Amino acid sequence: MNNTCIFYLHAFVLVTVLGCTPSKQPAADMILFNGQIITMNKDHSVVEAVAIREGRFFKVGDTDEVMGLATNSTAIIDLEGHTVIPGLIEGHSHFVAASQSEFFEEIPTVENMGQLFGWISEQTSLKKEGDWIIHPKFFFTRLEEIRQPTKEELDSLAPNHPVFLNGSYGGIINTKALEISGLADSDHQGIVRDQETGQTNGVLLRSAFESLAIPQKTELTKKEKKEALKEMLHRYNQAGITSVIAGRSDWEELRLFQELLSDGELTARLYLNMSFPLPPSVSLEEMKNAIEDLGLPIGKGNEWIKMGALKAVIDGGVLTGTAFLREPWGDKGKEIFGRGDPGYRGELYLNKKELVKLITAADDSGWNFTAHVTGGGGVDTLLAAFEEVNALTPIKGKRFSIIHGNFFTDEAILKMKNLGIYANMQPAWLYLDGVFLNQMRGEERMSDFHPYRSLTEAGIKVVGGSDHMVKLDLNSSINPYNPFLSMGTVVTRRTKNNTILNAEERISRQQALEMYTINNAHASFEEEIKGSIEVGKLADLVILSDDILQCPEDKIKDILPVMTILAGKRVYDAGVLMDSVSTEFD
């Protein structure tokens, strides 16, 4: 311990003995000192100490002025040189579904065909004949072989069990699944057929999922759902996450969150995006009336739970060949995804006219608007709809956003800048999927993939999130919700197999931190109360195992929180640092 630390600990003991504070200001509940506190304020200040009182930052600055607020009841934490950042904000997560995804059984992590086939074989010995074998989130493009298993391979492994490998916007099934579902001779458009033979090849589009004869899932009790959610949020706390923007929520989840809050067991602040209550086929007035019936305009709530945007789904996904591209998927798409049409561009679920109606209905009803879109053609369709709405009612400043996007041309970026559109992105997709997409599209067509520098330099708010969907672990989940993995990726542009893609689109460490702090606070209209360590803001912060501003670039992804503080209370503590008074949650 250095002499400065000893001096201030002695000063604290003196204050304790005298039972008074040397300042006339109100006392601090907690003080953290002797560290590097990255405030993320507009001046990019780095300070030594911070005081917390009644769940908010009370004093930020030099050790001298902050330690003057200590009393015998103040929890004093010597940071011992550790780095502190604001509480991280997860920009896009399906954390409720993820919390329940492994309640009954663990979902396998499969990285190659051998592991996949081994798991299916094991399942056939564990399940009765006729029982379904289902992987709830399977993306074969993340396998080492980058190829999908054939229907024949699945048949040989599980001739008496229906198999369904669910890739969200596309899937793979075997013959038994077709037979049990009565789809063997079906002409359903969602069942892909070999162009030469006309036979089903086991590939499904999302539209055919509802035709599968999968038994109803066992419903968890409310108590089980609450316990699963608490566990998931504690895992988020362990990753340094103190706030979450929900990818899509509903009334049942809202009631669950409210109960946890009422019981004092909610360990993250939530901003909830909701689905449109009616399809775009209805009239504009019908849609607006249905939105009004929700009774929950944007921003309604408190510092813990707020309503967010109305969300639409425009296209499919890049990992199932259903993202709507600017150009056809081509021969590579035919080879990898098993689709015969060389002009196939993907699935467009909403056209520009339908999007104009949805955006107008949301805007007129006082709601924010956002949309899932993964292909460049989908991005262009959405921006064209934004422009049409903007011509009648300006939308700049309303913080409408594009979720995912992935492919942003210079023209698209300029439109986003002019319209004030935010980019809600998932850097782990660059880490996990960049190599596959590079092989798929070729280097020339990959220049617009995740262009973080171009977006940032254009002044577009880039929001960082994970799209976490299933599994619990921060690194092996689909998709991984480790924010340091994501921040390391945008700084290095390094993929899982050590390839660097489009190095010119790297951004700085400070900009990477902005994606998970102040930018996400902007996205939820909460930049005045969180996203940086400033006096009066909510006391959410994270103490790190390493210095994110100075450690080797390739080590950013390995940083771990050693303590996470939410509203001035510790929601995660690795036991690395000691303090004088405990203020933990009961």
Over residues 373-401, the mean pLDDT reads: 97
Least trusted range by pLDDT, from 8-17, 459-468, 566-575: 8-17
Is pLDDT at 363 greater than 90 in this prediction? Answer: yes
Q: What is the pLDDT of residues 335-358, one digit of tens each?
A: 788 776 778 899 999 999 999 999
Is pLDDT at 403 greater than 90 in this prediction? Answer: yes
Report pTM: 0.93
Residue with token string 């229906």: 162
- DSSP lists the bridge partners of residue 37 as 47, 84
Report CA 271 to chain centroid distance, whole Å: 12
> What domains are defined for the chain?
3-86+536-573 (2.30.40.10), 107-211 (3.10.310.70), 222-314+349-523 (3.20.20.140)
End-to-end CA distance of the chain: 31
Higher pLDDT, 276 or 200: 276
d(CA 237, CA 569): 12
**The pLDDT of residue 584:** 45
Question: 578 pLDDT band (50/70/90 cuts)?
Answer: confident
Is pLDDT at 231 greater than 50 in this prediction? Answer: yes
Outline where DSSP puts E strands in 460-584: 462-464, 541-544, 561-566, 569-573
445 Cβ contact partners less than 8 Å away, ≥ 6 residues apart: 327
Instruction: Give me the DSSP letters along 150-200.
Output: PHHHHHHH-TTS-EEEE-SSEEEE-HHHHHHTT-TT---TTEEE-TTT--E
**The pLDDT of residue 109:** 93
Is pLDDT at 11 greater than 60 in this prediction? Answer: no
Instruction: Give me the DSSP letters along 86-98.
Output: EPEEEEEE-HHHH
Cβ pair 132, 278 in contact under 8 A: no
Q: What is the pLDDT of residues 12-38, one digit of tens each?
A: 443 443 344 444 678 999 999 999 999
* Own/partner long-range contacts of 44-53 (Cβ < 8 Å, ≥24 apart): 44/510, 50/84, 50/533, 50/541, 52/28, 52/539, 52/565, 52/568, 53/26, 53/27, 53/28, 53/29, 53/568
d(CA 383, CA 419): 9
**The pLDDT of residue 297:** 61
**The pLDDT of residue 523:** 96
**The pLDDT of residue 21:** 45
**The pLDDT of residue 580:** 56
d(CA 286, CA 351): 19
Over residues 246-257, the mean pLDDT reads: 93
d(CA 59, CA 69): 9
Sheet holding 83-86, edge to edge: 46-47, 36-38, 83-86, 541-544, 561-566, 569-573
Beta strand 305-313 with 36-38 is unpaired
**The pLDDT of residue 299:** 63
Instruction: Give me the DSSP letters along 484-512.
Output: HHHHHHHHH-B-TTS-B--GGG---HHHH
Is pLDDT at 581 greater than 60 in this prediction? Answer: no
Name the strand (E) or helix (H) holding 294: helix 284-294
Name the residue type at position 558: D
Buried b (16+ CB within 10 A) or exposed e, 345-359: bbbbbbebebbbbbb
Question: 120 pLDDT band (50/70/90 cuts)?
Answer: very high
Question: 585 pLDDT band (50/70/90 cuts)?
Answer: very low
d(CA 487, CA 379): 24
Over residues 268-289, the mean pLDDT reads: 95
